[in-house]
Amino acid sequence: MRIRTFEEYQTAYQHSVEDPEGFWAEIAQEFKWHKPWKKVLEWNFSTPDIKWFVGGKTNITENALDRHLRELGNHPAIIWEPNDPSEPSVTLTYKMLHDQVCRFANVLKRNGVVKGDRVCIYLPMVPEAAIAILACARIGAVHSVVFGGFSAQSLTDRIIDSNCKVIVTSDGAARGNKNIPMKDTVDDALIACPSVQKVIVLTHTRTPISMIKGRDVWWESEMKQVTSDCRPEVMDSEDPLFILYTSGSTGKPKGVVHTTGGYMVYSAYTFQNVFQYEKDQVFFCTADVGWITGHSYIVYGPLLSGATSLMFEGIPTYPDAGRFWDIVDRHKVDILYTAPTAIRSLMGFGLKYVEGKDLSSLKVLGSVGEPINEEAWNWYNEHIGKGKCPIVDTWWQTETGGILISPIAGVTKTKPTYATLPLPGVQPILVDESGKEIEGNGVSGNLCIKYPWPSIIRTTWGDHERCRQTYFSTYPNLYFTGDGCLRDEDGYYRITGRVDDVLNVSGHRIGTAEVENAINMHADVIESAVVGYPHDIKGQGIYAFVICENTLDDEDLSRRDILATVTRIIGPIAKPDKIQFVRGLPKTRSGKIMRRILRKIAEGDTGNLGDTTTLLDPTVVDDIKAGAM
């Protein structure tokens, strides 16, 4: 399945378009299946109904663990680097990981989890997060990992939406010099979650926590009660593997559902090809397992490929801004996969944190999560890659399960800020507002995909109609990504950012509606409107225009109250960077907020606000302009 040259890429791509079923069948054969599929693909994008490797039976953990035991049993599967650099790192070989996963799978069973049950995982970046994920997959439970930075309220919403039976957490998390209380947050969340019967608590930071009799059990003592013998559950290719919540332009986050067979094949295929992973290399993806990047490229993709995946608990700036480079140096990292926001932030600290670090082990650099600006690309290339490591700017989404548009390291000629070309099996098209295809090169439009790839979203948990509406109804028979895109004269793709009301703040996806709802929870707030604006480090910052009930005595205090409210409702990642109090919002006569105008004001581009004559009260705009921050 490995592409080595650009000619091989072209041949593979051609094959994947002319005969997608034949193409993917060949790749899928490299995995262990209990029963072969009857048909490679059945699909329609109108309902939508998408099935890959129909009738095939497998277990993804057998492919990620058991399959490697003979040859790679003593080979490192996970290297864990703790938050505190003075503490020792931990290496789990494939044999050790297999043992732990089987044990924890038995712990889940002991605590009442059966195939099809949902298990919530709310853990810091510790190896046990990967163990818990794989243990679920071992027994056919559906994991729903929730990023550790989300609030109790967000956790509650996600647990209730998917009706989780068990939650796995830890006493606390260590991030930089902060100790974050995880179990306390879980306790708060569970007040409103009657479906949760058991809480399995990992001892990590040894912070004092409450333990409720009959409900809460310790990870460590449970692990002693079980054997490491756990037969993998035979799963249908289309059985759900996991749910991962993500933000959209409207309402509450939705639970994106990925299934077993297609996700397995695609995450492994893209991992091996995009990064050109070679045996014995160390792969370091700096994402959190709470996001899709962590699922596909810390856990599944690397382990399915027999790779060594480095997991880092801490943050890039602790104990100083040289931490990533220190990790690369000490663990001889071959491939580094990180986000533009991290690069921009570290760039800001200057070169003194890079100097003196041996980065010569690096061979490939990756970027993900948001558009990478040219300056960051060049810095990454020059100072980290020393001009000799290809940079793969990988474009994809929670919904796509794996990378769709990206260079193949060392194979595709790169170009700063371009995700370049679609991977085999991916058929992108650009359309205009009316859905008409924009053909040829040197054009831009809305990015859609016209043919399914194996790890495409199957449904949104509990609400299939929402999946249809969000992704498959804007343009008939196309998957709509929500991204704008440019295709240059060479046919190279460059992602220009979201065209809907979704923000990308430090690589985190946040819906403007979600933030507005949280702000509106504040007792004094009547209404609010949230837009993004360019931010040097975060990519996008959050700008909130807020109408309050009374004249404020102390604007600053009110701002802090609003920030506290947003933190309580969503989590610190959704805190607005700027809050401007206004007396009114620019609305049309039909009551629609004209965000276009607010966006311009937030960007500081107030010279030309376009046509404001359709506004109910055009004077509102002058007031907002005068008070802009």
512 is a contact residue toward ligand WTA (CB under 6 A): no
Q: CB of residue 119 vs ligand WTA: minimum separation in angstroms?
A: 22
Nearer to ligand WTA, 306 or 369 (CB): 369
Q: 10 Å Cβ neighbour count for 46?
A: 10
* CB-CB contact of 57 with 234 (8 Å): yes
What are the distances in angstroms from CA 462 to CA 46, 133, 167, 259, 466? Answer: 18, 21, 19, 15, 9
The residue within the footprint of ligand WTA, chosen from 395, 418, 453, 475 (CB under 6 A), is: 395
Q: 10 Å Cβ neighbour count for 357?
A: 16
Nearer to ligand WTA, 378 or 612 (CB): 378
Tokens describing residue 320: 């100083």
Cα gap 614→609, rounded to integer Å:
12
**Please, what's the b/e burial string for 124-157 (b: 16 or more CB within 10 A of its CB; e: otherwise)?**
bbbbbbbbbbbbbbbbbbbbbbbbbbbbbbbbbb
Tokens describing residue 90: 């931990």
Cα gap 398→293, rounded to integer Å:
8
Nearer to ligand WTA, 132 or 485 (CB): 485
Q: What is the DSSP letter of 383?
A: I
Q: CB of residue 505 vs ligand WTA: minimum separation in angstroms?
A: 11
Q: CB of residue 340 vs ligand WTA: minimum separation in angstroms?
A: 8
Q: Which stretch binds ligand WTA (CB under 6 A): 72-80, 285-293, 327-335, 593-601?
A: 285-293
Q: What is the DSSP letter of 607?
A: S
Q: CB of residue 502 vs ligand WTA: minimum separation in angstroms?
A: 7
Nearer to ligand WTA, 139 or 505 (CB): 505
φ, ψ for residue 586, nearest 5 deg: -70, 110
Q: Half-sphere exposure of 598 toward its Cβ, with a 13 Å CA cutoff?
A: 27
Q: CB of residue 337 vs ligand WTA: minimum separation in angstroms?
A: 11
Nearer to ligand WTA, 157 or 393 (CB): 393
Nearer to ligand WTA, 61 or 338 (CB): 338
Nearer to ligand WTA, 281 or 504 (CB): 504
Chain residues 594-623 in contact with ligand WTA, contact rule CB under 6 A: none
Q: Which stretch binds ligand WTA (CB under 6 A): 12-20, 220-228, 287-295, 612-620?
A: 287-295
474 is a contact residue toward ligand WTA (CB under 6 A): no
72 is a contact residue toward ligand WTA (CB under 6 A): no
The residue within the footprint of ligand WTA, chosen from 482, 511, 532, 576 (CB under 6 A), is: 482
Q: Which stretch binds ligand WTA (CB under 6 A): 53-61, 66-74, 464-472, 490-498?
A: 490-498
Nearer to ligand WTA, 369 or 532 (CB): 369
Q: 10 Å Cβ neighbour count for 194?
A: 10
493 is a contact residue toward ligand WTA (CB under 6 A): no
The residue within the footprint of ligand WTA, chosen from 106, 397, 420, 459 (CB under 6 A), is: 397
Q: Which residues pair with 57 in a beta bridge?
A: 35, 236
Q: Which stretch binds ligand WTA (CB under 6 A): 177-185, 190-198, 368-376, 528-536?
A: 368-376
Cα gap 267→453, rounded to integer Å:
11
Q: CB of residue 366 vs ligand WTA: minimum separation in angstroms?
A: 9
* CB-CB contact of 123 with 95 (8 Å): no
The residue within the footprint of ligand WTA, chosen from 187, 233, 370, 500 (CB under 6 A), is: 370
The owner of tokens 């045996």 is 279
Residues 348-367 as x/- pattern, contact with ligand WTA by CB under 6 A: -------------------x
Cα gap 51→525, rounded to integer Å:
46
Tell me how far the alpha carbon of residue 405 is from its chain's centroid. 16
* CB-CB contact of 335 with 300 (8 Å): no
371 is a contact residue toward ligand WTA (CB under 6 A): yes
Chain residues 207-246 in contact with ligand WTA, contact rule CB under 6 A: 246
The residue within the footprint of ligand WTA, chosen from 53, 297, 300, 396 (CB under 6 A), is: 396
Calculate the dihedral angle through the C-alpha atoms of 488, 489, 490, 495, rounding to the nearest 10 degrees: 0
Chain residues 418-437 in contact with ligand WTA, contact rule CB under 6 A: 419
Residue 256's SS3 state is: strand
The residue within the footprint of ligand WTA, chosen from 101, 155, 159, 368 (CB under 6 A), is: 368
Peptide bond connecting 576 to the previous residue in cis, omega within 30 degrees of 0: no
Nearer to ligand WTA, 384 or 495 (CB): 495
Size, binding site for ligand WTA by CB under 6 A: 24
Tokens describing residue 349: 């600290």
369 is a contact residue toward ligand WTA (CB under 6 A): yes
Residues 432-471 as x/- pattern, contact with ligand WTA by CB under 6 A: ----------------------------------------
Three-state SS letters, 44-81: ECCCCEEEEEECCEECHHHHHHHHHHHHHCCCEEEEEE
* CB-CB contact of 254 with 248 (8 Å): yes
Tokens describing residue 417: 């800020």
The residue within the footprint of ligand WTA, chosen from 164, 167, 196, 292 (CB under 6 A), is: 292
* CB-CB contact of 492 with 418 (8 Å): yes
Where on the chain is the footprint of ligand WTA (CB under 6 A)? 246, 291-293, 367-371, 393-398, 419, 481-483, 495, 497-498, 504, 509
